[in-house]
Amino acid sequence: MVDPRYIRMFHAVVRAGSYAGAARELGYSQPAVSQQMRALERAVGTPLFARSGRSLRLTAAGEVLARHAGSALRDLAAAQNQITAIRQLRAGHIRICAFPSASATIVPAVAARIARRHPDLRIQLIEAEPPDSVETLRRGECDVALAFTYPGAADQLDDGDLLGVAVLDDPVVVVLPSGHRLAERPSVELADLAGERWIAGCTRCRDHFVQECRAVGFEPDIAFTTDDNLAVQGLVAAGIGIALMPGLVLSFLRHPEVISRRVRKLDDRRVSAYVLRDHHRIPATALMLETFRQVGAATRP
């Protein structure tokens, strides 16, 4: 690699026609210019200038470098300007991978905050449940992964290569038909629902749900499985079964024949934002982590 400073000096020498002229143009001493040009010739491995009396002419290698020096410097300047814009959050993009209930709640709030402060920063959203979302991050297919974990679960997501920031603790609710026998209660216990048919969600949630049911003495009768939160509402309203869902869904629980009730004695799930540990100092990534933290602090499902 050739030091770009040498190329700039070389370009000035070519324009001025002499070391002395380049020194005057750039505010250097003539010996400093001569020293840099000797260093450039050592770097490229061949002479670039030949003296003829008091005049300075380019060698064949020097002519090649002279033809490319101007465009190379322009490209370097353009790259520097673009990097500066990215560093100052005036350009660039960031990719978020989130699970559906977060995509419908936390992510819009985060995107709105960032858009107000940095309108030229572009955000791309893709959806995946954990642990797939975290694997997407590890493969470099996103910059920030939003995922959840349950207390005591064996399959925790961070094995040291990630940096995680806690966003919020999301309580568990049960979604019931509005005419359900427990609809008048402000909250229920899982054991109260032992004889019900159930609608289960993603693999991670379903495994935790089954473990919780077994812990209070029953095996759940799972009649239907879907990851679609809106589909769950329709199925509950139709009497197919009831469902445990994260508290985040309450903000878009819209079906007129469906209600939700808090389930006592069930642990909240922890929602966190993850980035690759080596990337947390990238300005857009750092901004995204901090904004997730702020939005999570202001969000109480």
Residue range 122-178, pLDDT digits in tens:
899 999 999 899 999 988 889 999 999 988 665 566 667 889 999 999 998 999 999
Closest alpha carbon to 273 in 246, 301, 297: 297
**Cα distance between residue 269 and residue 259, in whole Å:** 21
Report the alpha-carbon distance of residue 260 to residue 37 in Å, rounded: 76
Averaged over 29-54, what is the pLDDT? 87
Question: What pLDDT, in 10s, does the model give residues 172-212?
Answer: 899 999 999 999 999 999 999 999 999 998 787 888 899 99
Mean pLDDT, residues 40-59: 85
| Length of the chain (residues) | 301
The tokens 């290698």 sit on which residue?
61
Pairing of strands 258-264, 144-149: unpaired
pLDDT of residue 83: 65
Alpha helices in the chain (DSSP H): 4-16, 19-26, 30-44, 60-87, 100-103, 106-117, 132-138, 203-215, 229-237, 283-298
In this predicted structure, the answer to whether residue 84 has a pLDDT above a threshold of 90 is no
Burial class (CB in 10 A: 0-12, 13-18, 19+), 300: exposed
DSSP character at residue 143: S
**Which of 102, 105, 101, 82 is CA-nearest to residue 93?**
82
